[in-house]
Amino acid sequence: MKCTTVNITSQKTKYKIYVGSGFIQNRIEDYANDNAFFIVDEKVASLYKNIIPSNSKRVFLFKANERNKTLLNVEKMLKFLKNNGALRDSTLVAIGGGITGDTAAFTASLYMRGIKLIQIPTTLLSMLDSSVGGKTGVNLQGIKNNIGTFYQPKEVLIDCYFLNSLTNKEYLNGFAEAVKIAAVQDKEFFSYIEENIKHILDRKKSVMEKLILKSCMLKAQVVEQDEKESGIRKLLNFGHTVAHGIESDSKYRVHHGYAVAMGMVYESQYALNNGYLDEETFNKIKNLLMKLKYPITYTPKDKEKMLLAISKDKKAGKDGISMAVAGSNMQGVIINNVKPKEIIDLFY
């Protein structure tokens, strides 16, 4: 088991991210013995019955989907904690994918103004992205993550054991985030992904452990500099501006990682058209995504709905959207004041 540390000096906060295989059952047992509370994706609970605590007063099963990522379910989680005696020094352990992690983390940030949070991500998407960095949130009236807080966990435990149960679709849904962070931050890491496509698609354990740890290290470096996304952390939104429009237009039938993959291509096309990106880098990004078996085009169903979703995006201001792109030679660039209509025009 290897680890990296996130150190946020402005908040006098630091925590470790552990990456390995086969260690998670013992750690969950330790937390259960310490009377922690658990919010668990009910699908994960059914797949891994042997590692989920059996005490019903300590475990809240959550049906994780975008429709349930709401304030109503946060209230249910808060009542679960209150009714079962959670105190100011209690610990909440989130076990599941990004939806479970985001919703449980938001709950932890609110209960008694904040209790200890442990993240145990079970999907590749949450391992590479949402469990690290302290973003929490739920959806409001169809706008993704429109309500939330920044709340750092006390620990993140990433066990590649969970990758065994993911479908190919779920697996690829997560991997887009590794491509994203490499494209805006580390050209050598991007090359490592290019060189290991077969091992990645085969889920080779040693490659995946290295890849997950490196992705977390790169994200930690950004979060340490900009915890609340006022500057450099916006680079981690590469592909996400278009992705949120695609997700909304498809009524979330297009999963997040697939939407991000298509978003990276469309946003890179915008960057190429406007002189922020060279053609060689554009082709490297597009070709890698194609080799990883991602679709790279999308046909909008409702142009106005997509425009509204992009216009209401958290990165939108009165003068337009802030959009992150890979930039020439994979040095990330943030383009300000992009008009939502310019983004929609990329699809036609």
- The pLDDT > 90 percentage for the chain reads 77
Per-residue pLDDT of the chain (348 residues; tens, 9 = 90+): 888 888 887 677 889 999 999 999 999 999 999 999 999 999 999 999 999 998 889 999 999 998 999 999 999 999 999 999 999 999 999 999 999 999 999 999 999 999 999 999 999 999 998 898 899 999 998 777 889 999 999 999 999 999 999 999 999 999 999 999 999 999 999 999 999 999 999 999 999 999 999 999 999 888 888 888 778 888 999 999 999 899 989 988 999 999 999 999 999 999 999 999 999 999 999 999 999 999 999 999 998 889 888 887 656 666 788 899 998 889 899 999 999 899 999 998
Q: For residues 302 and 280, what is the distance between their CA atoms, to the nearest angstrom?
A: 33
Tokens of 103: 């919703």
* One domain for residues 214 and 328: yes
CA distances from 346 to 103, 268, 269, 307 (A): 33, 10, 8, 12
Instruction: Assign residue 7 the CATH number of its domain.
Output: 3.40.50.1970
End residue of a domain, out of 138, 166, 194: 166
Residues 178 and 94 both lie in one domain: no
Residues 229, 145 within the same domain: no
pLDDT at 308: 85
For residues 159 and 175, membership in a common domain is answered with no
Query: Do 332 and 305 fall into the same domain?
Result: yes
Task: Report the pLDDT value the prediction gives residue 317, as an integer from 0 to 100.
Answer: 64
**41, β-bridge pairs:** 62
Is residue 157 located within the same domain as residue 175?
no
- Looking at the fold, whether 134 and 255 belong to one and the same domain comes out as no
Tell me, what's the pLDDT at 76?
A: 98
Q: Which residues contact 56 (CB under 8 A, 6 or more apart)?
A: none
pLDDT in tens, 36-88: 999 999 999 999 999 999 888 999 999 999 899 999 999 999 999 999 999 99
Q: pLDDT per residue over 117-147, tens digit each?
A: 999 999 999 999 889 889 999 999 877 788 9
Local structure of residue 164 (DSSP, 8 states): G
271: containing domain: 170-345
Instruction: Please give the Cα distance from 221 to 232 (Å, whole number).
Output: 10
pLDDT at residue 122, as a whole number: 97
